[in-house]
Structure 1
Amino acid sequence: METDQGAKKRGRKPAQRPRPEEGERLKRTIMIEAEVDLRLTILAAKRGVSRSDIVDEALRAATRGIVVSFRSGNPGEEATAA
């Protein structure tokens, strides 16, 4: 007696966003004022780096105290266990 392998599946696992690799660059869009855009362009040219490098440096400094923790499992499990 053969069993149908497809019938055993109740559903698939939810897709998980892969963790970014160390140093991996992600393309994102931000909205800034025209004057800030001009200052950013001038500062990048003065330092000889890209505008993205300037923004990355500023955001790293602004978020230095933030800790990110990745946990497996359902996010709601801990809230219901309390």
Structure 2
Amino acid sequence: MGLISEVLMLPFAPVRGSAWAIRQVVREAERIYYDPATVRAELASLEERLEAGEITEEEFDHQEDELLDRLETAMRSGDTTGNGT
């Protein structure tokens, strides 16, 4: 961008900065959401809740399917670290 366009866009700087910050937060949230280590930990927790009688078999199956879909998406994307952070 040239100097003139920078000056003309100056009033929009807070909006552009906010949009950038929101994109960064969304990107990090998605990285954590699809992290294979996170999904595996949630699967283990889900199984523990089933064994403790906190959820029914039907609830377990439904939530397990959602978690396995997330894990499959994460494995397909291939850009996750798998370290759980």
TM-score relative to the length of structure 2: 0.26
- Greater RCO (CA < 8 Å, at least 6 residues apart): 2
Larger radius of gyration: 1
Which structure: greater helix fraction? 2
TM-score relative to the length of structure 1: 0.26
